[in-house]
């Protein structure tokens, strides 16, 4: 059974018709053409598919597209500002951290999330509940 899902991707509202079993990563890659998010495994362990959903790092292979209804998704395509790389992308480039490049989008989005979390926790540790979660508890 197909349903329509509406969400915001990289700041733009989008809608798509998906099967109930469609994963967020499939929606992004196959229907929205955002192929920077990769599938590197079939066990949800590699992290090549990490995107941000409402500001949280999420493995897009573990979330159904329909679960993203009304949410805001940031993919690697939305990390840079125009032609200006995000500082995390710049740091990866400056430190030759790209390797083959296949997993790099997931590593950049994960590292970007970690840097934001660290800064947020440092600024307001008492009021930021995510500061108390272990990294393994994050989606
Ligand atoms: S594709 Fe490997 S964790 Fe999602």
Domain boundaries, the chain: 2-133
Helical H segments across 7-132, by residue range: 24-26, 87-94, 104-123
| pLDDT for res 124 | 61
Pocket test for ligand 1, best of 28, 59, 105 (most atoms within 8 A of CB): 59
C-alpha 126 to ligand 1 mean position (Å)? 32
For residues 63 and 78, give the distance between their C-alpha atoms in angstroms, rounded to a whole number: 19
Pocket test for ligand 1, best of 26, 37, 44 (most atoms within 8 A of CB): 44
- What distance lies between CA 33 and its chain's CA centroid? 15
pLDDT tens digits, the chain, 139 residues: what are they? 999 999 999 999 999 999 999 999 999 999 999 999 999 999 999 999 999 999 999 999 999 999 999 999 999 999 999 999 999 999 999 999 988 989 999 999 999 888 887 777 677 655 444 444 444 444 3
Answer whether 35's CB lies under 8 Å from 19's CB. no
Closest C-alpha to 65, from 133, 106, 5: 5
17's enclosing H/E stretch is: strand 12-19
**Looking at ligand 1, which residue's alpha carbon is closest to its atom 3?**
44
- 2-133 carries CATH number 3.10.20.30: yes
Task: Read off the DSSP letter of residue 53.
Answer: E
| pLDDT for res 113 | 86
Residues with C-beta less than 6 Å from any ligand 1 atom? 39-41, 44-49, 59, 61
| pLDDT for res 126 | 53
């Amino acid at each position: 059974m197909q349903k329509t899902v509406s969400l915001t991707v990289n700041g733009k509202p989008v809608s798509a018709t998906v099967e109930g079993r469609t994963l967020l990563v499939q929606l992004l890659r196959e229907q929205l053409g955002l192929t920077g998010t990769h599938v590197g495994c079939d066990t949800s362990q590699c992290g090549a598919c990490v995107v941000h959903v409402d500001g949280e790092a999420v493995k897009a292979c573990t979330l159904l597209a329909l679960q993203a209804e009304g949410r805001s998704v940031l993919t690697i395509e939305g990390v840079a500002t125009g032609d200006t790389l995000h500082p995390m992308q710049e740091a990866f480039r400056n430190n030759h951290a790209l390797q083959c490049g296949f997993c790099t989008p997931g590593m950049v989005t994960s590292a970007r999330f970690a840097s934001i979390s660290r800064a947020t926790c440092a600024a307001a540790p008492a009021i930021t509940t995510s500061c108390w979660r272990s990294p393994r508890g994050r989606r």
